[in-house]
Amino acid sequence: MSGYDPYEIRKDFYIFVNTDIVYLDNAATSQRPRQVIEAIREFYEKSNANVHRGIHRLSMEASKLYEEAHEKVAKFIGAEMSEVVFVKGTTEALNMAANLLLDHLRGGEIVLTRMEHHSNILPWLRIARIVGAKVKVVDVDSDGRLLWDSMEKAVTEKTRVVAVTLMSNVSSVINDIERISRLAHSVGALVVVDGAQGVPHLPVNVKSMDIDMLAFSGHKMLGPTGIGVLYIRKDLAEELEPAFPGGGAIKAVSYTDEGFKIVWEDPPWKFEAGTPPIAQAVGLAKAVEYLERIGMENIYRHEVELIEYFFKRLAEEGLEDKIKILGPRSLEKRGGIVSFTLGKQDPHVTAYMLDKHKIAVRSGFHCAQPLHERLGFNRGSVRASVYLYNVEEDIEKLIVALKTIANLA
C-alpha cells in the first residue's frame, strides 16, 4: 500500500469536492490543494510588496517569504538555496540552461534522446546552430526505453552536454540519471535534466544523482502556474554569467571613461533579474510542504499501483487487443502515465468521447512527436496520467468508458 489515504487527500481539493470529474491529465498540470490557494491569497492580502527593493515592513516580509521558498524548494531536491533559481517554468529553465552554456558548447557536441519533450530539444537545436555545435540523438527500443549502447556510442570526448529527461511524459519510462551522469562526467560533459515529470512524482536528490542542472515546473506539483525552477550546481552557478541580466542581478554598476564595470550578485539572485514570481514562490513552497508531508516515495508507489490496476482491468475486460499501449507494460522503472490508442480511432476522438464520460485526459503528440513516430504512433496517442489524489474508482471509470467506446467503434 502507498502509506497514505488518497480519499482523505481529495478533501483538500475543491475541484473534487465540487465536481464529479475524473481528472487524469496530471502530466499536463496538477490540481491545487486549498492550502496552496490560501497561501497565495494570504500573501496578496497581508504581505504583498516587491522583494529585495526596500526596507519597509511589507518588502521585508515579502523578501523573507521569497527567500524561504528558495530554501524549501532546495531542500526538496537535496540542493542548497544558492543553487535554486526561480523562472516561469520548465521551458524557460531549459532555455536558460542552453543560453548559460552557450560558450561552453561552442564547437562541441550535444547529446539528446529520442524521448525528449520538445522543450528539451528546441533550445539545444537553436544554441547548436548559433555556436556551431553538433547534436546527436540517442535512440530508444520498442518500449521507449533508452538504448544504452547507443548512449555509450554518442557520448565522446567532444560531448559538452547530455540533456535528458528524468521521466518521459509519454511512455512514463524513468531514466537512470546516476548512470548517465557517470558516463557524461567521465568525458567532462555536463548533465542537464528535464525533471518536469520526474520531480512531482519521484524522490529526487540532485547530489546523489550528480546532476549539473535540473529543470522543473511548479504547476505540475500542486503549485501555481508561472513558476519553475532551474537548479544549477553551486560551482557552475558561481562561474556563469547570467543569460538574461537586468535589475536585481547586480551588486553594482559603475561607469567611467573606460566603460561600464559590473559586479554581479551572488547566486541565485544574479539569475533572477527583474520582479520575480513572488506570490507563485509562496504557493510553490506550500506545495512542497504538502508533498513532503505525504512523502514522495509514497506518492510514487501509489501511482504505480494505479497503473498496475489499469493493466489488470484491461486484461479482465478483454480490452488488451483493442488498446495499444505506447511504452512498457512492465512496472519496473516507469511512472504513473499510460499513453495508448483505441483501435483505429483518432486519439482526439477517443479523448472527446472520454470527456463525455467526465474523464479528462490528453490527446495528441504531447510535445514529443519524435518519440511517437519512432514507436509507430504517427497520429499521436491518448494520455492518462495519475497523481497522489487519484483512486481506483477513477481507473474503473476509465475502463468502463473505454469499453463502452470500444463497443461503439
The region that residue 144 occupies, defined by phi over 0 for left and psi between -120 and 50 for alpha, beta otherwise, is left
Q: What dihedral angle (degrees, nearest 10) is formed by the CA atoms of 293, 395, 203, 292? A: -10
Would you call 405 helix, strand, or coil by DSSP? helix
CB contact burial 52-69 (16+ within 10 A = b; e otherwise): beeeeeebebbbebbbeb
> Cα(205)–Cα(209) distance, rounded to whole angstroms?
6
Taking residue 371's Cβ as centre, other Cβ atoms within 10 Å add up to: 27
Residues marked active site are found at: 367
Of 35, 28, 2, the closest CA to residue 388 belongs to 2
Taking residue 357's Cβ as centre, other Cβ atoms within 10 Å add up to: 14
> Cα(229)–Cα(70) distance, rounded to whole angstroms?
9
- Residue 216 contacts residue 79 (beta carbons within 8 Å): no
Sort strands 190-194 and 213-217 into parallel, antiparallel or unpaired. parallel
Q: What does the DSSP assignment read for 100-162? A: HTHHHHTTSEEEEETT--GGGTHHHHHHHHHHT-EEEEE-B-TTS-B-HHHHHHH--TTEEEE
Query: Cis peptide before 6, with omega less than 30 degrees from 0?
Result: no
Would you call 52 helix, strand, or coil by DSSP? coil
CB contact burial 153-190 (16+ within 10 A = b; e otherwise): ebbeeebbbbbbbbbbbbbbbbbebeebbebbeeeebb
> Cα(185)–Cα(195) distance, rounded to whole angstroms?
19
Taking residue 5's Cβ as centre, other Cβ atoms within 10 Å add up to: 12
> Cα(284)–Cα(160) distance, rounded to whole angstroms?
32
